[in-house]
A and B are shown apart, each in its own frame.
Chain A
Amino acid sequence: MSHITTVKTAFRLPDAIKLAAATLKVPLAEQVPVRFYAGPTPESYPYVLQLPGRYDLGFALQPDGTYTLIGDEEIFSEQENSRNQDARDHLGPQAQWLHREYQVGVAALVAQQHGYQMERLSREDGWTQIVLTQ
């Protein structure tokens, strides 16, 4: 039988953040500031993707244990420009590739814990399909 559950996700697992950074080939630093338009933040963040170019993208820990993204708004802009080009090249538009690779990382971690073989497929409609077999 099939049972389909749809989830709107949240960043929660540092190990999946690390896997995503490795897949995207972006260095992930710990406890460092985030670079914005006006320069680096005075405070440090638990995890920071150190992108080439002008901006970084950080993960700010919330009281509920999830991480929210912290970065210059131009990283999340639909408009491409010279300042956000490096971020878009590495993370995709509005950092969509980061979200996707984090989810793939979560699936990989759980699959490993529960003894699943994992196969990843990219569909023509833009969805990523992961097939797990025990």
Chain B
Amino acid sequence: MALPTGIRLHPWASSYEGLLEGADEEDEAPGPQVDPGVERPPHEWCPLQPEAPAAPAALLFVDGVRRIEVGVVAQGDDRPAWGLFGSYGAGAVLCRPGRATVMVEDVRRALVLAVSGQQGQLEVPAGSIALRYWVCSIGEGKGQKEVRQEVQHRMRQLEAEVVAGSPARLEDGALVVVDGPLTFLPRWAGQAVPVVGLVKTHHRRYLEEPSLSGCIAALAPGERTPIFLVLTEREADRRFSWYVRVAGSPPLHHPLVGIVRLETWAQGGLDLARRLADITARMLPRFAPPGAWDARAPANLYPVAALEERLRHGLGDYQWVRRSIEAYFYRQGGLS
């Protein structure tokens, strides 16, 4: 299809290199209500050595990336309608003892517009191939934030597809580790396999009580906190969560460096959650890179970091893609 009429580039709207980081959780937002007493009474909280459960045969790490190539604006009758060219991808790495393999890599592109009724796809020639952008209208009157969130949402959707498609690729007893909280993952994705969400950042404080939060900092590598229940309005959204230290906090670093938070749906039951908590506490430290390896080390685990790099690579060279879109606009020249 041709470019929707009246669309203009507005490059300043996209962030540096088009990367969106840390949009998963609100900054410094007060945490939701939790129940810290599901595994142990709050006054008995202390770092726990995981028991030795039967380790899963494999871990499947699922992650996604997204990028804004260039922002656009459609000059409407009275006020501008925002939009963007975005690319996103998701994939999975299967880690078995002795071999880590990238199982899935999927990259898609979208032209998000805050308008109604536009759809189809746009082919932007870029060297040897044509980049295919699905046009998606998210409705009039939406702001730039919502436009950007649409890309995030679509990436999450793609991650969910990867998770949902994963049982076919997994043997029994495999565990799926999704990068980021489960909140954004549609429930249908994790029906057939145990899924945990891995949260690297600690913008949100779940445990306010000093005795509880002190327990997090006191964790040694390979230890975990007792499980707590994250209370939500809807019963189905409730999750069991726990902290694991995957690596010691280096000198002069915040004590939370090296800590990750994990969660799984409460629906699965406390026994399963306890098993998953023990498995993650025992296994994840092996995947934690040393500080020099990655800027987000140690919480950015090897398979996740490698997958992200690969997916980003799959999005295509940023400068090249962006120039192709701009060239496409110039070629369409006279569009009014």
A binds B: no
